Amino acid sequence: MTLTRFAPSPTGHLHVGNLRTAIHNWLWARRNGGQFWLRMDDTDAERSHEDYAQGIRADLAWLGMRPDGEVRQSDRFAIYEARFTELSASGHVYPCYESAQELDIKRKIALGRGLPPVYDRAALALTSAEIQAFEAEGRTPHWRFRLDHDQPIAWDDRIRGPQHFEAHLLSDPVIRRADGSWLYMLPSVIDDIEMGVTDVVRGEDHVSNTATQIQMFAALGAPCPSFAHAALLTGTEGKLSKRLGSVGISAFRDAGIEPITLIALLARIGTSDPVEPVTDVAPLVEHFDFSRFGRAPARFDEQELAQLNQKIIHHLEFDAVRERLPEGMEEAAWIAVRGNIETVAGAAFWWNIMQGSISTPALDVDDRKFVAQARTVLADLPFDATIWRTLTDALKAETGRKGKALFLPLRIALTGEEHGPDMSALLPLIGRDRALERLASASAV
């Protein structure tokens, strides 16, 4: 069974960059009838906060992306310790006593010589006496995973295609700090094994991590999952702005962006599939395919998001929005106005025009006379679903007006607006008495 995981660190709010990764994992699991899990990578106790974890869960719930399960790395330290002991016994991890300053000097020397800043494995040559001397100074070791330099690293990435790394050109990664806390690399591999993750879907900034983690899977006697590394998200300026890289998903919710809009855009940008105004995730799931992903950065444009949101709202059914509409607003009113609003909250404006009061517009003399005549005609007509057509046909025959000269003064008098929903749908919702009152007021100003 396909099992994917979204593994955010609860050190901040969910933003569009990591949301895109979550969407890819979720869609791939759904596409294959599998499971999508949430894993809180909260090994950094100082920076991880439960408020952020709750926010991540709330954002995923709002988007309709409820995980099939959740684990927390902070609950799994005993598992990491046991596997670490195995790797230590097999010689796959080793202690190092260099300070941060000493390592920095080594990197600068290597770069100055035109060499890659790869760790020189000096710790492997330490004698027992040297180790005892370091410990007598109060030094505690950090730990590195020992890469097999004789074993080339290769995998067929679902997005990037065949990948190849020479292990001797990579530094043995630090997996544990001197204070005993864990870094990302090893716990992530252990969790993927223990959870049964079949597909690791993440950004291309993790490609080099994958190279070293492949050898960790082998050292732990486990098969590798499949990997898919998507090109990173950028903004309109060519990179993801600091604002977009930090603003929480709640900001889009507060701005009236629909959940399906974010999913529809983030699922398709960076692929060969068009971004389309869908109201259900089914077509996104059905057509989700890593072979359609490009290698170029995916550009996130807030203006495109707003335009897509408007198109989607124009297709939303009443049942999808009824809980967010003004009290008393029924299906006919929603259908009448949805094509003229940018967010669902915008329906309140038109509902007030239908059922509330408007400012009496100022018309010129001829239009005031025309509106007064319209009131007289309307008062004698049967008020039903076809009243707009009946009224305008009668006025056209009686006054000779047509086109804009016929329709615009009526629209302004009845709604206070020059543009808006189709008056044939709006006038029955305004109602006979209110319409007569507004025509009388507009003709008297």
CB-based contacts of 69-72 (< 8 A; 24+ apart in sequence): 69/35, 69/37, 69/38, 70/37, 70/38, 70/39, 70/40, 71/37, 71/38, 71/39, 71/40, 71/191, 71/195, 72/39, 72/40, 72/42
Annotated binding site for ATP: 242
Q: Region of 431 please: left (phi>0), alpha (psi -120 to 50) or beta.
A: left
Annotated binding site: 242
442, 361 Cβ separation under 8 angstroms? yes
CB-based contacts of 351-356 (< 8 A; 24+ apart in sequence): 351/325, 351/326, 352/326, 353/415, 353/416, 353/417, 353/420, 353/426, 353/430, 354/426, 354/429, 354/430, 355/328, 355/429
417, 346 Cβ separation under 8 angstroms? no
Cα dihedral angle (333, 335, 341, 342), rounded to 10 degrees? 130
User: Which residues are registered as beta bridge partners of 143?
Assistant: 95, 176
CA angle 274, 279, 282 (to 5 degrees): 75
Q: Which two tokens stand for residue 209?
A: 């991590």
99, 177 Cβ separation under 8 angstroms? no
Cα–Cα distance, 445 to 441 (Å, whole number): 7
Of 185, 287, 294, residue with least CA distance to 233: 294
Cα–Cα distance, 98 to 90 (Å, whole number): 23
387, 381 Cβ separation under 8 angstroms? yes
Cα–Cα distance, 348 to 14 (Å, whole number): 30
Cα–Cα distance, 294 to 231 (Å, whole number): 7
Provide the residue type at 41 as one letter: D
